[in-house]
Amino acid sequence: MRPVRWTAGLLLLVAAPWIVTELVPNQQRYILHVLIFTALYGALALSYDLVVGHVGSLSLAHPAFFGIGAYGSALLGTEAGWPFALALPAGIALAALAALAVGVPMFRLTEHSFAMGTLGVALVTQIVATNWVDVTRGPLCVTGIPKPQVGALRIVTLPGFYWMALAAVALVALLYHALTTFRLGRAFHAVRDNEALAASAAVDPLKYRMLAFAIAAAVAGGVGALYVSYVGVLCPGELAVSLTVNLLVMIFLGGVGSLRGVLIGAAAFTALPELLRMAPTWRMVIYGLLLLVVVIRAPDGLDALLRRRVAASR
Protein backbone atom coordinates (compact mmCIF):
# COMPACT_ATOMS: atom_id res chain seq x y z
CA MET A 1 0.00 0.00 0.00
CA ARG A 2 2.71 2.47 0.99
CA PRO A 3 4.70 2.45 -2.25
CA VAL A 4 1.45 3.06 -4.16
CA ARG A 5 0.60 6.06 -2.01
CA TRP A 6 4.13 7.39 -2.31
CA THR A 7 4.11 7.11 -6.11
CA ALA A 8 0.69 8.76 -6.30
CA GLY A 9 1.83 11.62 -4.06
CA LEU A 10 4.99 12.12 -6.09
CA LEU A 11 3.07 12.08 -9.39
CA LEU A 12 0.63 14.61 -7.97
CA LEU A 13 3.48 16.94 -6.97
CA VAL A 14 5.23 16.62 -10.33
CA ALA A 15 1.98 17.15 -12.24
CA ALA A 16 0.96 20.13 -10.06
CA PRO A 17 1.53 22.83 -12.76
CA TRP A 18 -0.88 21.07 -15.17
CA ILE A 19 -3.42 20.38 -12.43
CA VAL A 20 -3.34 24.00 -11.27
CA THR A 21 -3.77 25.22 -14.88
CA GLU A 22 -6.79 22.97 -15.35
CA LEU A 23 -8.49 23.79 -12.04
CA VAL A 24 -7.79 27.53 -11.56
CA PRO A 25 -6.56 28.90 -14.89
CA ASN A 26 -6.82 32.57 -13.86
CA GLN A 27 -4.79 32.20 -10.65
CA GLN A 28 -2.27 29.71 -11.99
CA ARG A 29 0.78 32.03 -11.82
CA TYR A 30 0.04 33.10 -8.28
CA ILE A 31 -0.46 29.56 -6.97
CA LEU A 32 2.70 28.31 -8.66
CA HIS A 33 4.62 31.20 -7.14
CA VAL A 34 3.38 30.20 -3.66
CA LEU A 35 4.31 26.56 -4.35
CA ILE A 36 7.84 27.55 -5.41
CA PHE A 37 8.28 29.53 -2.19
CA THR A 38 6.90 26.61 -0.18
CA ALA A 39 9.41 24.20 -1.71
CA LEU A 40 12.38 26.55 -1.24
CA TYR A 41 11.35 27.36 2.33
CA GLY A 42 10.91 23.63 2.95
CA ALA A 43 14.46 22.94 1.81
CA LEU A 44 15.83 25.81 3.92
CA ALA A 45 13.87 24.71 6.99
CA LEU A 46 15.15 21.14 6.62
CA SER A 47 18.73 22.38 6.53
CA TYR A 48 18.10 24.54 9.59
CA ASP A 49 16.56 21.62 11.47
CA LEU A 50 19.76 19.59 10.90
CA VAL A 51 21.46 21.94 13.35
CA VAL A 52 18.62 22.84 15.71
CA GLY A 53 16.75 19.54 15.79
CA HIS A 54 19.51 16.99 15.39
CA VAL A 55 22.65 18.29 17.09
CA GLY A 56 20.74 20.58 19.44
CA SER A 57 22.66 23.81 18.75
CA LEU A 58 20.32 26.78 18.51
CA SER A 59 22.10 28.64 15.72
CA LEU A 60 20.68 31.98 14.64
CA ALA A 61 23.20 32.42 11.84
CA HIS A 62 21.22 30.72 9.09
CA PRO A 63 20.31 33.94 7.22
CA ALA A 64 24.05 34.64 6.96
CA PHE A 65 24.74 31.38 5.12
CA PHE A 66 21.64 31.78 2.96
CA GLY A 67 22.88 35.28 2.15
CA ILE A 68 26.48 34.24 1.45
CA GLY A 69 25.27 31.60 -1.01
CA ALA A 70 22.83 34.05 -2.57
CA TYR A 71 25.28 36.95 -2.85
CA GLY A 72 28.13 34.65 -3.92
CA SER A 73 26.25 33.11 -6.81
CA ALA A 74 24.43 36.34 -7.76
CA LEU A 75 27.64 38.38 -7.94
CA LEU A 76 29.57 35.66 -9.74
CA GLY A 77 26.67 35.45 -12.23
CA THR A 78 26.31 39.18 -12.83
CA GLU A 79 29.77 40.72 -12.27
CA ALA A 80 32.04 37.84 -13.26
CA GLY A 81 29.66 36.35 -15.81
CA TRP A 82 29.98 32.81 -14.48
CA PRO A 83 27.45 30.31 -15.83
CA PHE A 84 24.82 29.07 -13.38
CA ALA A 85 26.34 25.58 -13.35
CA LEU A 86 29.48 27.10 -11.76
CA ALA A 87 27.90 29.91 -9.73
CA LEU A 88 25.58 27.56 -7.83
CA PRO A 89 28.32 25.21 -6.53
CA ALA A 90 30.48 28.25 -5.80
CA GLY A 91 27.68 29.70 -3.66
CA ILE A 92 27.34 26.38 -1.84
CA ALA A 93 31.09 26.15 -1.25
CA LEU A 94 31.32 29.75 -0.01
CA ALA A 95 28.54 29.17 2.52
CA ALA A 96 30.15 25.95 3.76
CA LEU A 97 33.56 27.64 4.09
CA ALA A 98 31.99 30.52 5.99
CA ALA A 99 30.33 28.04 8.35
CA LEU A 100 33.66 26.28 8.99
CA ALA A 101 35.40 29.60 9.67
CA VAL A 102 32.63 30.88 11.95
CA GLY A 103 32.01 27.52 13.59
CA VAL A 104 35.47 27.27 15.16
CA PRO A 105 35.02 30.23 17.52
CA MET A 106 31.24 29.83 17.84
CA PHE A 107 31.29 26.25 19.06
CA ARG A 108 33.43 27.34 21.98
CA LEU A 109 30.19 28.84 23.23
CA THR A 110 27.35 26.86 24.71
CA GLU A 111 23.59 27.26 24.87
CA HIS A 112 22.57 30.94 25.11
CA SER A 113 25.98 32.24 24.23
CA PHE A 114 26.08 30.17 21.07
CA ALA A 115 22.69 31.55 20.09
CA MET A 116 23.84 35.12 20.78
CA GLY A 117 27.17 34.63 19.01
CA THR A 118 25.49 33.24 15.92
CA LEU A 119 22.94 36.07 16.02
CA GLY A 120 25.95 38.38 15.91
CA VAL A 121 27.22 36.55 12.81
CA ALA A 122 23.86 37.12 11.12
CA LEU A 123 23.75 40.81 12.05
CA VAL A 124 27.34 41.46 10.96
CA THR A 125 26.73 39.69 7.64
CA GLN A 126 23.74 41.93 7.03
CA ILE A 127 25.72 45.03 8.01
CA VAL A 128 28.46 44.06 5.55
CA ALA A 129 25.91 43.35 2.79
CA THR A 130 24.35 46.78 3.38
CA ASN A 131 27.56 48.78 3.64
CA TRP A 132 30.04 47.11 1.29
CA VAL A 133 28.46 49.03 -1.55
CA ASP A 134 31.37 48.56 -3.99
CA VAL A 135 30.72 44.85 -4.13
CA THR A 136 27.14 44.16 -3.01
CA ARG A 137 25.65 47.51 -4.23
CA GLY A 138 24.21 47.80 -0.73
CA PRO A 139 20.61 49.01 -0.50
CA LEU A 140 20.49 49.44 -4.31
CA CYS A 141 20.36 45.62 -4.52
CA VAL A 142 21.92 43.24 -7.00
CA THR A 143 19.70 43.18 -10.07
CA GLY A 144 19.56 41.29 -13.36
CA ILE A 145 20.63 37.97 -11.83
CA PRO A 146 20.70 35.47 -14.74
CA LYS A 147 18.13 32.69 -14.96
CA PRO A 148 19.46 29.17 -14.34
CA GLN A 149 20.97 27.48 -17.37
CA VAL A 150 22.70 24.12 -17.47
CA GLY A 151 23.82 23.12 -20.96
CA ALA A 152 20.87 23.47 -23.29
CA LEU A 153 18.37 23.42 -20.39
CA ARG A 154 17.32 26.95 -19.53
CA ILE A 155 14.74 27.60 -16.81
CA VAL A 156 12.58 30.63 -17.51
CA THR A 157 8.93 29.63 -17.04
CA LEU A 158 7.08 29.31 -13.75
CA PRO A 159 6.51 25.54 -14.12
CA GLY A 160 10.23 25.21 -14.86
CA PHE A 161 11.10 27.00 -11.61
CA TYR A 162 8.53 24.91 -9.80
CA TRP A 163 10.18 21.68 -10.93
CA MET A 164 13.58 23.09 -10.02
CA ALA A 165 12.37 23.94 -6.51
CA LEU A 166 10.63 20.57 -6.18
CA ALA A 167 13.84 18.76 -7.21
CA ALA A 168 15.77 20.86 -4.69
CA VAL A 169 13.49 20.08 -1.76
CA ALA A 170 13.40 16.37 -2.73
CA LEU A 171 17.19 16.27 -2.85
CA VAL A 172 17.50 18.04 0.49
CA ALA A 173 14.89 15.70 2.03
CA LEU A 174 16.89 12.68 0.84
CA LEU A 175 20.08 14.18 2.24
CA TYR A 176 18.31 15.00 5.52
CA HIS A 177 17.00 11.45 5.77
CA ALA A 178 20.39 9.92 4.98
CA LEU A 179 22.22 12.14 7.46
CA THR A 180 19.82 11.66 10.36
CA THR A 181 18.96 7.97 10.09
CA PHE A 182 22.05 5.82 9.97
CA ARG A 183 25.21 5.72 12.06
CA LEU A 184 25.81 9.42 11.55
CA GLY A 185 22.28 10.21 12.72
CA ARG A 186 22.81 8.25 15.91
CA ALA A 187 26.03 10.15 16.53
CA PHE A 188 24.18 13.47 15.99
CA HIS A 189 21.49 12.48 18.47
CA ALA A 190 24.03 11.26 21.01
CA VAL A 191 25.72 14.67 20.88
CA ARG A 192 22.34 16.44 21.19
CA ASP A 193 21.01 14.35 24.08
CA ASN A 194 24.08 14.00 26.25
CA GLU A 195 27.27 15.69 25.23
CA ALA A 196 29.45 14.29 28.00
CA LEU A 197 28.26 10.74 27.47
CA ALA A 198 28.79 11.04 23.71
CA ALA A 199 32.32 12.30 24.25
CA SER A 200 33.11 9.44 26.62
CA ALA A 201 31.97 6.97 23.95
CA ALA A 202 34.50 8.49 21.51
CA VAL A 203 31.81 10.45 19.65
CA ASP A 204 33.50 13.84 19.38
CA PRO A 205 30.73 16.47 19.91
CA LEU A 206 32.63 19.26 18.18
CA LYS A 207 33.29 17.16 15.08
CA TYR A 208 29.65 16.18 14.61
CA ARG A 209 28.33 19.63 15.41
CA MET A 210 30.71 21.20 12.90
CA LEU A 211 29.69 18.61 10.32
CA ALA A 212 25.98 19.30 10.75
CA PHE A 213 26.60 23.06 10.87
CA ALA A 214 28.68 23.05 7.66
CA ILE A 215 26.29 20.80 5.73
CA ALA A 216 23.31 22.89 6.83
CA ALA A 217 25.14 26.05 5.75
CA ALA A 218 26.01 24.50 2.38
CA VAL A 219 22.36 23.61 1.78
CA ALA A 220 21.25 27.10 2.90
CA GLY A 221 23.77 28.61 0.47
CA GLY A 222 22.43 26.41 -2.34
CA VAL A 223 18.84 27.41 -1.57
CA GLY A 224 19.98 31.05 -1.52
CA ALA A 225 21.50 30.66 -4.99
CA LEU A 226 18.33 29.02 -6.36
CA TYR A 227 16.17 31.66 -4.70
CA VAL A 228 17.96 34.61 -6.31
CA SER A 229 17.99 32.88 -9.69
CA TYR A 230 14.21 32.70 -9.42
CA VAL A 231 13.54 36.18 -8.00
CA GLY A 232 16.26 37.92 -10.03
CA VAL A 233 16.93 40.59 -7.36
CA LEU A 234 18.88 40.42 -4.09
CA CYS A 235 18.71 43.06 -1.34
CA PRO A 236 20.42 43.12 2.09
CA GLY A 237 16.97 42.95 3.72
CA GLU A 238 16.74 39.29 2.68
CA LEU A 239 19.37 38.50 5.32
CA ALA A 240 17.35 39.93 8.22
CA VAL A 241 16.85 38.22 11.56
CA SER A 242 13.18 37.79 10.64
CA LEU A 243 14.26 34.94 8.33
CA THR A 244 15.47 33.02 11.39
CA VAL A 245 12.14 33.69 13.09
CA ASN A 246 10.32 32.35 10.04
CA LEU A 247 12.47 29.21 10.11
CA LEU A 248 11.92 28.75 13.85
CA VAL A 249 8.16 29.07 13.36
CA MET A 250 8.28 26.47 10.60
CA ILE A 251 10.27 23.85 12.45
CA PHE A 252 8.55 24.35 15.80
CA LEU A 253 5.10 24.51 14.23
CA GLY A 254 5.72 21.31 12.30
CA GLY A 255 7.90 19.37 14.71
CA VAL A 256 11.58 19.74 15.54
CA GLY A 257 13.76 16.90 14.32
CA SER A 258 11.13 15.33 12.08
CA LEU A 259 11.35 15.33 8.28
CA ARG A 260 7.60 15.20 7.82
CA GLY A 261 7.01 17.73 10.59
CA VAL A 262 9.38 20.32 9.12
CA LEU A 263 7.83 19.96 5.66
CA ILE A 264 4.32 20.29 7.14
CA GLY A 265 5.52 23.36 9.06
CA ALA A 266 6.96 24.95 5.91
CA ALA A 267 3.76 24.27 3.95
CA ALA A 268 1.53 25.60 6.73
CA PHE A 269 3.76 28.64 7.14
CA THR A 270 3.71 29.67 3.48
CA ALA A 271 0.01 28.85 3.02
CA LEU A 272 -1.09 30.71 6.17
CA PRO A 273 -0.22 34.29 5.11
CA GLU A 274 -1.83 33.66 1.72
CA LEU A 275 -5.01 32.65 3.50
CA LEU A 276 -4.81 35.56 5.93
CA ARG A 277 -3.71 38.14 3.30
CA MET A 278 -2.21 40.55 5.76
CA ALA A 279 0.29 43.38 5.81
CA PRO A 280 3.87 42.18 6.48
CA THR A 281 4.17 43.81 9.91
CA TRP A 282 0.92 42.23 11.14
CA ARG A 283 2.16 38.98 9.66
CA MET A 284 5.30 39.14 11.82
CA VAL A 285 3.22 39.92 14.91
CA ILE A 286 1.10 36.85 14.26
CA TYR A 287 4.13 34.65 13.56
CA GLY A 288 5.72 35.86 16.78
CA LEU A 289 2.60 35.09 18.81
CA LEU A 290 2.23 31.75 17.04
CA LEU A 291 5.84 30.87 17.84
CA LEU A 292 5.31 31.88 21.47
CA VAL A 293 2.18 29.77 21.85
CA VAL A 294 3.58 26.75 20.01
CA VAL A 295 6.88 26.68 21.88
CA ILE A 296 5.12 26.95 25.25
CA ARG A 297 2.02 24.85 24.69
CA ALA A 298 3.04 22.29 22.05
CA PRO A 299 6.83 22.16 21.75
CA ASP A 300 6.59 18.92 19.72
CA GLY A 301 4.58 20.58 16.96
CA LEU A 302 1.84 19.55 14.56
CA ASP A 303 3.57 16.32 13.58
CA ALA A 304 3.36 14.97 17.14
CA LEU A 305 -0.32 15.98 17.36
CA LEU A 306 -0.97 14.17 14.09
CA ARG A 307 0.86 11.07 15.27
CA ARG A 308 -1.07 11.03 18.56
CA ARG A 309 -4.35 11.39 16.65
CA VAL A 310 -3.44 8.44 14.40
CA ALA A 311 -2.33 6.33 17.37
CA ALA A 312 -5.58 7.12 19.20
CA SER A 313 -7.76 6.16 16.25
CA ARG A 314 -6.15 2.73 15.94
* 285 touches other proteins by CB under 8 A: yes
| In the complex, least distance from residue 13 CB atom to other proteins, rounded to whole angstroms | 31
Please tell me the distance from the alpha carbon of residue 238 to that of residue 242, in angstroms, as a whole number. Answer: 9
Residues 43-72 that bind other proteins (CB under 8 A): 58
Q: Which of 140, 241, 271, 305 binds other proteins (CB under 8 A)?
A: 241
| Residue 111 CB, nearest approach to other proteins (Å) | 5
Q: Is 237 an interacting residue with respect to other proteins (CB under 8 A)?
A: no
- In the bound state with other proteins, the residue whose beta carbon lies nearer, of 15 and 293, is 293
- Is 29 one of the binding residues for other proteins (CB under 8 A)? no
* Contact status: 97 vs other proteins (CB under 8 A): no
Contact call for residue 100 and other proteins (CB under 8 A): no
Our finding on whether 253 is near other proteins (CB under 8 A) is no
Closer residue to other proteins (CB): 41 or 252: 252
Residue 194 lies near other proteins (rule: CB under 8 A): no
By CB under 8 A, name the one of 112, 183, 277, 309 that touches other proteins.
Answer: 112
Total chain residues near other proteins (CB under 8 A): 35
Q: How far is the CB of 105 from other proteins (least distance, A)?
A: 5
Q: Please tell me the distance from the alpha carbon of residue 204 to that of residue 188, in angstroms, as a whole number.
A: 10
Shortest distance in whole angstroms from residue 189 CB to other proteins: 15
Q: Pick from 127, 197, 233, 276 the residue near other proteins by CB under 8 A.
A: 127
What angle is formed at CA 47 by the lines to CA 78 and CA 207, rounded to 5 degrees? 110
Q: Is residue 128 close enough to count as binding other proteins by CB under 8 A? A: yes
Residues at the site binding other proteins, with contacts judged by CB under 8 A: 58, 105, 108-109, 111-113, 115-117, 119-120, 123-124, 127-128, 130-131, 241-242, 245, 248, 252, 281-282, 284-285, 287-289, 291-292, 295-296, 299
